[in-house]
């Protein structure tokens, strides 16, 4: 059973990782800005963290919380992100839900419904959903489709675009 689960997880990760680069290449904005990031570098960094355990306040390999995971990944690219999910409230550009694309940050409320308490990174989307890289208390670092999940639908607060990516 564990082998089947690992195979399925590997298949999903491969699909979600490669599809944005192949099928949705047009959704990536190629920027001539010197601070644009290479999406393939981001993918390489997060692939190595999948399955890592959740740790409240964790910002390094061995245990991450949601903002700590993104803080660490982008820190490896010499980018400074907020150290807490609330710090994303006014970063970058506000994006409509139907305009979310690979690389955008999605914000969700936590225990307090009016306050940002969780952040995830869009790593893919299709007609069935939006795939988010995040670290969750119940499963650690993972990629999951949050669309249609009551927990995330109720808590969705918005999306922000902080970077433009090269393929």
pLDDT digits (tens, 9 = 90+) for 69-95: 999 999 998 999 999 999 999 999 999
Split into its structural domains, the chain has a count of 1
Average confidence score pLDDT of the chain: 82
Share of the chain above pLDDT 70, in %: 78
How far is Cα 137 from Cα 97, in angstroms, rounded to an integer? 24
Domain ranges, residue 27: 2-166
Instruction: Output the domain CATH number for residue 6.
Output: 3.90.1720.10
Given this model, what pLDDT does residue 36 score? 65
* Beta bridge pairs of residue 102: none
DSSP assignments along 86-134, one per residue: GGGTTSSEEE-GGG--TT-EEEEE-SSTTSEEEEEEEEEEETTEEEEEE
pLDDT digits (tens, 9 = 90+) for 131-157: 999 999 999 999 999 999 999 999 999
Out of 26-30, 61-65, 120-124, 163-167, least confident range: 26-30
Rounded to a whole number, what is the distance in angstroms from the first to the last CA of the chain? 36
Given this model, what pLDDT does residue 161 score? 94
Given this model, what pLDDT does residue 166 score? 77
Asked if residue 39 has pLDDT above 50, the reply is yes
The answer to whether 138 and 152 have CB atoms below 8 angstroms apart is no
Given this model, what pLDDT does residue 51 score? 97
How far is Cα 128 from Cα 78, in angstroms, rounded to an integer? 34
Asked if residue 5 has pLDDT above 60, the reply is no
Residues near 120 by beta carbon (within 8 Å), at least 6 away in sequence: 66, 105, 106, 108, 132, 133, 134, 146
Asked if residue 12 has pLDDT above 60, the reply is no
The answer to whether 159 and 33 have CB atoms below 8 angstroms apart is no
H or E element at residue 64: strand 63-64
H or E element at residue 13: helix 2-22
């Amino acid at each position: 059973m564990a082998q089947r689960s690992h195979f399925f997880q590997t298949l999903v990760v491969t699909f979600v990782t490669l599809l944005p680069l192949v099928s949705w290449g047009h959704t990536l904005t190629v920027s001539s800005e010197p601070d644009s990031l290479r999406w393939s570098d981001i993918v390489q960094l997060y692939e190595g963290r999948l399955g890592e355990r959740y740790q409240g306040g964790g910002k390094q390999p061995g245990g991450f919380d949601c903002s700590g995971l993104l803080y660490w990944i982008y820190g490896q690219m010499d980018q400074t992100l907020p150290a807490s999910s609330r710090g994303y409230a006014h970063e970058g550009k506000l994006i409509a839900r139907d305009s979310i694309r690979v690389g955008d940050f999605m914000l969700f409320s936590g225990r307090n419904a009016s306050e940002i308490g969780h952040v995830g990174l869009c790593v893919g989307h299709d007609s069935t959903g939006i795939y988010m890289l995040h670290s969750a208390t119940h499963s650690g670092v993972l990629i999951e489709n949050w669309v249609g999940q009551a927990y995330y639908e109720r808590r969705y607060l918005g999306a922000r675009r902080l970077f433009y990516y090269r393929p």
